[in-house]
Amino acid sequence: MAEIQENNNKEKKGNKQKKMNIRVDFTPMVDMNMLLITFFMLCTSLSKPQTMEISMPSNDKNITEEMQNKVKASQALTLLLGDNGKLYYYEGEPNYKDYNSLKETTYNSDGLRKLLLSKNSAAVKKVRELKDKKERLEISEEECRKEIAEVKSGRNTPTVIIKATDKSTYKNLIDALDEMQICSIGKYVIVDITDGDKFLIDNYLSKGELSQKATENNV
């Protein structure tokens, strides 16, 4: 009996598992993270905030207010961001009687970009020349930025007014702003859309029925 009990005690002791102390070394992981952080810091540059250049009114007393308004209207381009990715625009002052004064385009390179480049071709060419000079180290980066800002805010450059409808998306606005940078547009502003602008869109979609009804009611 004593021998059997002794064997049972040995079996019980043999069945007990030994506790192992597990120690995880995070040193290689920390080293790898530090290397990655250093790598990305060296290979990337912090983005600089984009600023809008504003042209101040002329101090020339010989230029009348009527002449200034004509110049502003001739250089103004208004973008109306509609629903379902639709994009409309008109040049100068709005014409509520003629629905054809409102044009439709797209956010593609052959749409809005082509339109902006046609109106700002001289500034775009000058900006490219300045960037080439900087690449050839003929001018410093600071001088390049200063001269580009002056070119973008020149008197003959267009002023773009961006108005978004309630049904337009945030992506539409970002796409429009991206085209401002690509086409070197230095004078642009985002304002609230007016009832008159909404009438232009509705009148365009109805092919002039709204303006025709308004004319008939006034007669």
Tens digit of pLDDT for each residue in 5-23? 555 555 555 555 556 666 7
Give yes or no: residues 161 and 198 share one domain: yes
Domain count, the chain: 2
Give yes or no: residues 91 and 168 share one domain: yes
Give yes or no: residues 92 and 161 share one domain: yes
CATH number of the domain at 201, please: 3.30.420
Burial of 3 (0-12, 13-18, 19+ CB in 10 A): exposed
Q: Are 167 and 83 in contact (CB under 8 A)?
A: yes
First-to-last alpha carbon distance for the chain, in angstroms, is: 125
Give yes or no: residues 172 and 126 share one domain: no
Give yes or no: residues 161 and 116 share one domain: yes
Going by their DSSP bridges, the two strands 159-164 and 103-105 should be labelled as: unpaired
Give yes or no: residues 203 and 162 share one domain: yes
* Token couple for 46: 């912090």
Residue carrying structure tokens 């912090």? 46
Domain that holds residue 129: 121-154
Going by their DSSP bridges, the two strands 103-105 and 87-91 should be labelled as: antiparallel
Give yes or no: residues 133 and 101 share one domain: no
Give yes or no: residues 115 and 125 share one domain: no
Residues 6+ positions from 121 with CB-CB distance below 8 Å: none
140-196 pLDDT, tens per residue? 888 988 998 888 888 888 999 999 999 999 999 999 999 999 999 988 999 999 999
Query: Is 136 within a domain?
Result: yes
Three-state DSSP class for residue 47: coil
Query: Is 39 within a domain?
Result: no
